[in-house]
């Protein structure tokens, strides 16, 4: 088997293994297990972000950032679980204010070093908004739809949808780009990204959406046939931007992968980069267009 084939199999295995663990956590009915896993992945992704900054000699406050991220991820989960999505908005705004205050409070105990200080503040706050804040929309999606009569969650199927469509988009981009990619599109960000690969991303998103349409139509009752057509276009495009966004960070820091814990992929941030953009887009689509959570 060629090296590209081995890389593809390793990439596929790592992707499937991690997201299967995530979905097992929520479909088992163990909400705390799901929250711990999502929180752990989010914190690992943020840790890799701070590692990238360190490698690129870019200043930040990693300890403060990780503590704030843990407060955001765990606190928001507990609040949503008890009070529901409507009350969760006030809590989330309060946490965001806390994040800003906490990062500036950290700077009080450090010397002022010109633009270095501003960079440390900006890099830390950006990391918090980019990773844990956006990744937390998976948890918010779980609690967006009402519980069943027996108290069980119903939002896990919508999390399954957005994760499946996103990862199908990622794999579509990788496979089509590897097999047919001939025309580079963003060489200043990633020399290996091609227009064929971008087309493969949209195709993969449609494939994932249609697959779940036939397998879980009744479980995704909020989505109409039109939604199953519009969403893969939106989520596929968001997945592409999410992947390129992380490439911008890695190129700026001068590294190839965010980490090395996942064979064939790299780091945790390399795995969730596209989900960071698709999860909030899907959440707001459900809330503002499909009407989820409005009755709560």
- Confidence at residue 286, expressed as pLDDT on a 0 to 100 scale: 94
SS3 string of 12-54?
HHHHHHHHHHHHHHHHCCCHHHHHHHHHHHHHHHHHHHHHHHH
More confident residue, 65 or 90: 65
> How does pLDDT run across 67-111, given as a tens digit for each residue?
999 999 998 888 888 887 776 777 888 888 988 999 999 888 878
Write the DSSP assignment of 61-85 as a string of letters: -HHHHHHHHHHHHHHHHHHHHHH-H
Instruction: List beta partners, residue 230.
Output: none
255 phi and psi, to 5 degrees?
Answer: -130, 160
Least-confidence region, from 20-29, 71-80, 129-138, 286-295: 20-29
Q: What is the mean pLDDT of the chain?
A: 85
Nearest to 160 by CA among 177, 176, 175, 145: 145
Asked whether 269 and 48 are in contact (CB, 8 A), the reply is: yes
- pLDDT beyond 60 at 295: no
- Confidence at residue 265, expressed as pLDDT on a 0 to 100 scale: 54
- Confidence at residue 239, expressed as pLDDT on a 0 to 100 scale: 96
- Confidence at residue 236, expressed as pLDDT on a 0 to 100 scale: 96
- Confidence at residue 174, expressed as pLDDT on a 0 to 100 scale: 87
Tokens 């990391």 sit on residue: 127
Q: Provide mean pLDDT across the span 254-272.
A: 70
Sign of the dihedral defined by the CA atoms of residues 173, 177, 180, 186, in that order: positive
Percent of the chain with pLDDT over 90: 47
- Confidence at residue 188, expressed as pLDDT on a 0 to 100 scale: 86
Model pTM?
0.89
- Confidence at residue 181, expressed as pLDDT on a 0 to 100 scale: 82
Torsion of CA 169, 42, 40, 90, to 10 degrees: -120
More confident residue, 95 or 224: 224
- For residues 66 and 71, give the distance between their C-alpha atoms in angstroms, rounded to a whole number: 9
Cβ-based neighbour number of residue 175 at 10 Å: 18
Asked whether 75 and 102 are in contact (CB, 8 A), the reply is: no
- For residues 110 and 150, give the distance between their C-alpha atoms in angstroms, rounded to a whole number: 53
- 3-state SS class at 184: strand
Q: How confident is the model at residue 296 (pLDDT cuts 50, 70, 90)?
A: very low
Which positions ≥6 away from 78 have C-beta within 8 Å? Answer: none
Least-confidence region, from 11-15, 216-220, 262-266: 262-266
- For residues 3 and 234, give the distance between their C-alpha atoms in angstroms, rounded to a whole number: 33
More confident residue, 33 or 135: 135
- Confidence at residue 26, expressed as pLDDT on a 0 to 100 scale: 61
Q: Where is mean pLDDT largest: 184-193, 230-239, 264-273?
A: 230-239
Cβ-based neighbour number of residue 55 at 10 Å: 12
């Amino acid at each position: 088997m060629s090296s590209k084939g081995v890389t593809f199999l390793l990439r596929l295995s790592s992707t499937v293994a991690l997201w299967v663990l995530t979905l097992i956590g929520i479909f088992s009915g163990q909400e705390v297990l799901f929250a711990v896993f999502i929180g752990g992945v989010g914190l690992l992704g943020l840790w890799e972000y701070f590692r990238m900054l360190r490698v690129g000699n870019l200043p930040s406050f990693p300890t403060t950032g990780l503590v704030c991220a843990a407060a955001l991820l765990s606190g928001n989960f507990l609040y949503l679980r008890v009070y529901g999505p409507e009350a969760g908005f006030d809590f989330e705004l309060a946490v965001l204010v806390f994040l800003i205050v906490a990062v500036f409070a950290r700077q009080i105990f450090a010397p002022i070093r010109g633009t270095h200080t501003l960079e440390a503040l900006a890099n830390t706050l950006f990391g918090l908004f980019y990773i844990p804040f956006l990744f937390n929309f998976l948890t918010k999606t779980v609690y967006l739809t009402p519980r069943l009569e027996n108290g069980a969650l119903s939002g896990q199927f919508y999390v399954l949808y957005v994760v499946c469509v996103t990862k199908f988009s990622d794999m579509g981009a990788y496979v089509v780009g590897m097999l047919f990619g001939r025309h580079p599109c963003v060489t200043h960000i990633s020399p290996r990204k091609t227009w064929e690969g971008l087309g493969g991303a949209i195709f993969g998103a449609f494939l994932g959406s249609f697959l779940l349409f036939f397998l879980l139509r009744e479980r995704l009752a909020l989505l109409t046939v039109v939604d199953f057509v519009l969403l893969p276009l939106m989520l596929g495009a968001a997945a592409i931007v999410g992947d390129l966004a992380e490439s911008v960070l890695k190129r700026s820091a001068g590294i190839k992968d965010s980490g090395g814990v996942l064979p064939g992929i790299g780091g945790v941030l390399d795995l969730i980069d596209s989900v960071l953009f698709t999860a909030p887009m899907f959440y707001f689509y459900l809330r503002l267009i499909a009407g989820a959570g409005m009755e709560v």
